Amino acid sequence: MSDECYERILHLRAIRGYDDRPIVADDLDRILEAARWTGSSKNRQNWAVVVVTDPDQRNRLAACGDYTDPIRNAPVALALVQEPDGYEFDTGRMAQNIMLAAASIGVGSCPITLHREDQARDVLELPAGSRCRYAVALGYPAADARPARWGGRKPLREIVHRDRYGVPYMP
Amino acid sequence: MSDECYERILHLRAIRGYDDRPIVADDLDRILEAARWTGSSKNRQNWAVVVVTDPDQRNRLAACGDYTDPIRNAPVALALVQEPDGYEFDTGRMAQNIMLAAASIGVGSCPITLHREDQARDVLELPAGSRCRYAVALGYPAADARPARWGGRKPLREIVHRDRYGVPYMP
Residues of A in contact with B147 (CB under 8 A): none
In 3D space, the residue among B42, B28, B19, B164 whose CA is nearest the CA of residue A52 turns out to be B164
Q: Residue B106 pLDDT > 80, yes or no?
A: yes
Element (DSSP H or E) covering residue A157? helix A156-159
Mean pLDDT of A69-85: 97
Share of chain B above pLDDT 70, in %: 96
Most A CBs within 10 A among B6, B91, B107, hence the mutation to make, goes to B6
pTM, 2 dp:
0.96
For the cut 90, the answer to whether the pLDDT of residue A148 exceeds it is no
List Cα–Cα distances, B124 to B46, B78, B79, in angstroms: 17, 11, 9
What value does the mean pLDDT take over residues A34-46? 95
> Is the model more confident about B73 or about B147?
B73
**pLDDT bucket at B144, cuts 50 / 70 / 90:** confident
Read off the pLDDT of each residue in B103-132 and give the average, rounded to a whole number. 97
Give the Å distances, CA to CA, from B28 to A3, B81, B109, B123: 15, 18, 12, 22
Q: Which residues in chain B are closer than 8 Å to A38, comparing Cβ atoms?
A: 96
Q: Which of B116, B111, B118 is nearest to B137 (CA)?
A: B111
Cβ neighbours of A163 in B, within 8 Å? 50-54, 57
The answer on pLDDT for A149 being more than 80 is no
Q: Do A53 and B127 touch (CB under 8 A)?
A: no
Contacts of A9 in chain B (CB under 8 A): 34, 37, 97, 100-101, 104
Our CA-based measurement puts residue A98 at a distance from the nearest CA of chain B, in whole angstroms, of 9
Q: How far apart are CA B135 and CA B116, in angstroms?
A: 12
Q: Which residue of A has its CA nearest to B115?
A: A41
pLDDT at B20 over 50: yes
As a whole number of angstroms, the distance between CA B104 and CA B107 comes to 7
Q: Cβ distance A164 to B60 under 8 Å?
A: no
Cβ-Cβ contacts under 8 Å between A and B: the total is 226
Q: How far from A158 is each of A120, A167, B49, B160, CA to CA, in Å?
A: 36, 11, 10, 40
Query: Domain B3-168 belongs to what topology?
Result: NADH Oxidase (3.40.109)
Q: What is the mean pLDDT of chain B?
A: 94
CA distances from A102 to A33, A162, B39, B157 (A): 11, 34, 15, 20
Whether residue B58 has pLDDT greater than 50: yes
Structural domain boundaries of chain B? Answer: 3-168
Q: Is B1's pLDDT higher than 50?
A: no
In sequence order, which residues have a C-beta less than 8 Å from that of residue B28 and are 6 or more positions away?
B51, B76, B138
Nearest to A165 among B48, B92, B160 (CB): B48
**Residues B15, B7: Cα–Cα separation, whole Å:** 17
